[in-house]
Structure 1
């Protein structure tokens, strides 16, 4: 018999529905009429063993034990799902063929692979294991996927990448948390100081942003606006561009800080002749936006509907698993397989049925349009998040589900609208040897942007009154110039949208220029699947708090960051890890090349921790709880699995 092992029961049921009927539902698996069986994991059935599994002495937290570096890694069954592991043990033994049906991502690959390894599946059976990749839980999509099985051994690098991440997080989280908790106790701080290679740098981003806001001192700066007209009385404005001679009166961002200098320019150019020194008018176009990956969707859902990252992910999971209205949501990809273009008429038909108040917008979509979004070369295990062919009016969904579905549907619809076309005009004007510039943008054909009209949070307006048609050398008249006094603004506090954007574009916050260069293509703190949970974890630990839409660091969070070494609080190290993990999955780096330098660095970090005083650390809990031997023993176990992020 063929045994299909899904990542979770919902996926298992979807696979079983595509197998010969009648189906026989049993305890932990489903048997098809032809004898094939579908079973499942329930998330990770296994977890990294606790430190005391390697040596009983590690039950006690002592600095001399650190760093703890397992020579032979061990996994242990999770107590709550041990029964399902027993079900799989028997089924795996009886199966003549195994099909791996984990989610189509790094963690989904490891999740089933580690079970097969733990159950000691014979080498021959393991070598013949097939991989089933499902992005859509609807029956037709599952049936199609079942005809496109691939050798599971082709995905070994993806699994190795996830394994390296899991072990590296264990090493870093266990050792750093123990080291700084022990140092904190020396300073009278009696709670666990949890440190993670992803969550701590994210906290560091927020703490540093809050410090910048707190320390910010606003400065006035000045701009000069020339009011101009043509001989035909066509009026427009142009902005002064200071020359190099003005550098002593400007800040590092090119803003003029001297009011006297700006006033002098106004005196010099008011009511004076002006000449067009350069003029360009070009018809341009902007291609349709790509469909969503999870982070892009979470960012837009936060901007438009004020949904947190976790709320968006929860809505996505329900739309995917319960309602089957969207494809696999935990995707980091924004492209689609080329053969999916043929599904467009059916998906547009489903949207017509599901979203009653968007009939015109959906009817105007042209399914013959094929954009750069369809590109097989950019699609691997999973593709962008799009609607499925499932028909279900969205008034049957929760508010958050409706909001998220509408965003996904609109982004998909945009693929079948024409490009946005506009005219861009730019001019340079000389007034008394001073350079002034003006530009404008005028719509020619809204194309896909018609779908985004009235959504200021999605498409910020950059429209100005169009420049008149000018020619180089044309004479103009400058009228009374205008002095605009402005003030520098502090950076904005993080929101869900901007914090997610920072996590996905982390290279902007990386100090090392070499790492920054690498990360322009492969950057990201955490993964699509983990970013929301990591942000929520920081709230649960009282390191972050919400003030309306703003995300601010608590005093607890600030104290923790102040106590840690810079390496632990900046994204450089963990961003470099993510780049290397991507290289492992792409077969350009091996496991040992990643793990060995990490262990060397861990020795250095622990040595640094031993010589660090935490005197500045402020209490997280008030009143403080005593860290008794009993509490240390129980907390050690509870915190082990929680510090790996």
Structure 2
């Protein structure tokens, strides 16, 4: 008997739908017409054991017990899905051939592998397990994926990488949460101060931004605009470019801080001839944006529709599992396999039927074009999120589902539109010995940008330059001093916080680490970022004010108490780099885990000597309302199940 093990029931049903009938629906699996079976997990059927599962004494949080590092790691059945685990294990033992059909990512690989491991199979049977990667739940796509099965042993490094991450999260989150919670008690904090390898640096980003805004002192600076006139009477403006002689009166951004200097320049150029010394006309080209990965989609949906990251992920799961209108949504990839190019006609026909994009936009697409997104070398376990060939028979989508589906359709459609072409004109002008520059862009071809224009007519008050020639006589009719003020950074929104998490390298000062981080996924993964942000809200470390995300008193107190390096992105983003190396067989499990275990001992010791003044006087009643919630949160929410990230 061949047994297919899916990650969740919806995928199990999609697999069974393309396999021999008649089907017999059993308790926790489907028996196929040829005697084979399809079963499924329901997310993780196993979870990391609690500290007290290793030793009863760990029920009480005591500093001298830390760090807790299991000599032999244990999994245990999740209570709610214990019955399904028993069903899957029983079928695994009966099967002659196993087909691993977890989601096509690191977590999906581990999720099924750990159940196979729990069944305690012989080495020969484990080495014969097949692996299928399904990213589209429509029948034709599922059939194709099943026909392209590989050996599961090829994906073992991915599984080891996921296991290392889960165990490291457990060690880091559980030990440091206990250590700093005990330290916080000395300052009167009665709740859990959870620390995680991703959540804490994300909180650190928000706290530092908030403090920067609060401490910001606005300063005036000055610009000079020359009002220039051609002999024909046409006017335009040019901006003064201060010389090096002005540096003592400028800030690090080269903004002039001395008003009298700007006023002097303005008076010197008024009613003076101007000399057009150079005219640059630079052709510019902007290619269509790549199809979405999850983070890019979440960022755009937040900007356009004010949706939270979690809301977007939930909608995507519905579009993928329930409606089968999009491919696998938890993808971190923005490229497509070359053979997907052959499906473009069918996908556009489905988009037209499903009202995923304007009919005129779909019909004007040039299907002979092939953007850079089709690249086999850039596609690994999964590819970009795109529409499928599925046709809706009736209007089944809710308003928000239609909005997200529309974004995905538009981004895919852009691959069949030409580049945006424009010319950048830059006029270099000398007036009374001073240098001025006038700039303007001229659109040559809107290309793909026609898809992204709002319904309202685009603003037409962009600065335009008249026709100019080098050497033609110009006259400066006036010099205008413009007083401006430096502005603080904006508070984070969900879109900008997600962008910061994905582009974390720009927040790192060390050039070597920055270089490494540019090649990694950043803080967290596509599948976890939304949950991490929501977790910080639930733990009362962050709050929402309209679209703005701000740190709470408790969140700030934690960041200003723990060692600085625990709230910086350097360490956690480097973890992702090391885990990727394990998945790519360029590093080992022990090379990652052993240094972490050594560091934990140092951090636990440090937790007992830190200054906790930043936590004194903070009320935790809003965060821990229910009686007894301290123990419940302490045991379940703060660090377990590999979720303290």
TM-score of the superposition, structure 1-length normalised?
0.96
**Which residue is 2:238 aligned to?**
238
Structure 1 distance, partners of 2:358, 2:458, is: 22
Shift of 1:422: 1.4
**Which residue is 1:43 aligned to?**
43
What is the RMSD computed on CA atoms of the aligned residues?
Answer: 2.1
Residues 404 and 552 of structure 1: CA distance in aligned 2, closer, same or farther (over 3 Å): same
Q: Gaps spanning 5+ residues in structure 2: where?
A: none
Structure 1 distance, partners of 2:212, 2:458, is: 26
Structure 1 distance, partners of 2:632, 2:412, is: 52
1:567-590 C-alpha deviation (Å, 9 max, x unpaired): 111111111111111222222221
**Which residue is 1:532 aligned to?**
530
Q: Gaps spanning 5+ residues in structure 1: where?
A: none
Task: Tell me the secondary structure at the aligned position of residue 373 of structure 1.
Answer: coil
Counterparts of 1:302-313 in structure 2, within 5 Å, are 302-313=302-313
Shift of 1:8: 0.4
**Which residue is 1:622 aligned to?**
621
**Which residue is 1:580 aligned to?**
578
**Which residue is 1:542 aligned to?**
540
Given the alignment, which residue of 514, 520, 535 partners 2:518?
Answer: 520
Moved more, 369-378 or 516-525: 516-525
Given the alignment, which residue of 497, 500, 505 partners 1:499?
Answer: 497
Task: Tell me the secondary structure at the aligned position of residue 346 of structure 1.
Answer: helix
Whether contact under 8 Å (1:334, 1:385) holds in the other structure is yes
Structure 1 distance, partners of 2:199, 2:22, is: 48
Shift of 1:606: 1.0
Shift of 1:520: 1.5
Residues 393 and 620 of structure 1: CA distance in aligned 2, closer, same or farther (over 3 Å): farther
**Which residue is 2:557 aligned to?**
559
Given the alignment, which residue of 602, 605, 612 partners 1:604?
Answer: 602
Structure 2 distance, partners of 1:198, 1:76, is: 25
1:448-468 C-alpha deviation (Å, 9 max, x unpaired): 110111179xx9979833323
Residues 434 and 8 of structure 1: CA distance in aligned 2, closer, same or farther (over 3 Å): same
**Which residue is 1:454 aligned to?**
454
**Which residue is 1:568 aligned to?**
566
**Which residue is 2:113 aligned to?**
113
Shift of 1:398: 1.4
Structure 1 distance, partners of 2:109, 2:497, is: 28
Whether contact under 8 Å (1:50, 1:640) holds in the other structure is no
Residues 261 and 626 of structure 1: CA distance in aligned 2, closer, same or farther (over 3 Å): closer
Structure 2 distance, partners of 1:612, 1:290, is: 47
Task: Tell me the secondary structure at the aligned position of residue 595 of structure 1.
Answer: helix
Shift of 1:626: 12
Structure 2 distance, partners of 1:57, 1:640, is: 18
Shift of 1:252: 1.0
Counterparts of 1:65-80 in structure 2, within 5 Å, are 65-80=65-80
Shift of 1:189: 2.2
TM-score of the superposition, structure 2-length normalised?
0.96
Whether contact under 8 Å (1:277, 1:428) holds in the other structure is yes
**Which residue is 1:89 aligned to?**
89
Shift of 1:266: 0.4
Residues 185 and 398 of structure 1: CA distance in aligned 2, closer, same or farther (over 3 Å): same
Whether contact under 8 Å (2:356, 2:409) holds in the other structure is no
**Which residue is 1:277 aligned to?**
277
Whether contact under 8 Å (1:60, 1:633) holds in the other structure is no
Structure 1 distance, partners of 2:509, 2:455, is: 36
**Which residue is 1:636 aligned to?**
635
Count of residue pairs brought into register by the alignment: 643
Task: Tell me the secondary structure at the aligned position of residue 518 of structure 2.
Answer: helix
Structure 2 distance, partners of 1:632, 1:295, is: 34
Residues 453 and 629 of structure 1: CA distance in aligned 2, closer, same or farther (over 3 Å): closer
Structure 2 distance, partners of 1:28, 1:562, is: 49
**Which residue is 2:325 aligned to?**
325
Structure 2 distance, partners of 1:175, 1:421, is: 55
2:314 corresponds to 1:288:
no
Structure 2 distance, partners of 1:443, 1:437, is: 20
1:305-339 C-alpha deviation (Å, 9 max, x unpaired): 00010111110000000000000000000000000
Counterparts of 1:329-344 in structure 2, within 5 Å, are 329-344=329-344
Residues 395 and 265 of structure 1: CA distance in aligned 2, closer, same or farther (over 3 Å): farther
Whether contact under 8 Å (2:357, 2:409) holds in the other structure is no
Task: Tell me the secondary structure at the aligned position of residue 307 of structure 2.
Answer: coil
Task: Tell me the secondary structure at the aligned position of residue 291 of structure 2.
Answer: coil
Structure 2 distance, partners of 1:499, 1:3, is: 42
Task: Tell me the secondary structure at the aligned position of residue 481 of structure 1.
Answer: strand
Residues 90 and 350 of structure 1: CA distance in aligned 2, closer, same or farther (over 3 Å): same
1:247-296 C-alpha deviation (Å, 9 max, x unpaired): 11111111111110100110111211222222111333211110000000
Whether contact under 8 Å (1:394, 1:402) holds in the other structure is no
Structure 2 distance, partners of 1:162, 1:333, is: 18
Shift of 1:396: 2.2
Structure 1 distance, partners of 2:102, 2:491, is: 38
Shift of 1:636: 2.9
2:222 corresponds to 1:222:
yes
Shift of 1:624: 9.8
Residues 579 and 260 of structure 1: CA distance in aligned 2, closer, same or farther (over 3 Å): same
Structure 2 distance, partners of 1:221, 1:437, is: 19
Structure 1 distance, partners of 2:441, 2:146, is: 50
Counterparts of 1:375-524 in structure 2, within 5 Å, are 375-392=375-392, 395-454=395-454, 464-524=462-522
Residues 349 and 152 of structure 1: CA distance in aligned 2, closer, same or farther (over 3 Å): same
**Which residue is 1:595 aligned to?**
593
Structure 1 distance, partners of 2:458, 2:503, is: 20
Shift of 1:623: 8.4
Structure 1 distance, partners of 2:553, 2:368, is: 56
Shift of 1:236: 1.7
Moved more, 291-300 or 63-72: 63-72
Whether contact under 8 Å (1:395, 1:402) holds in the other structure is no
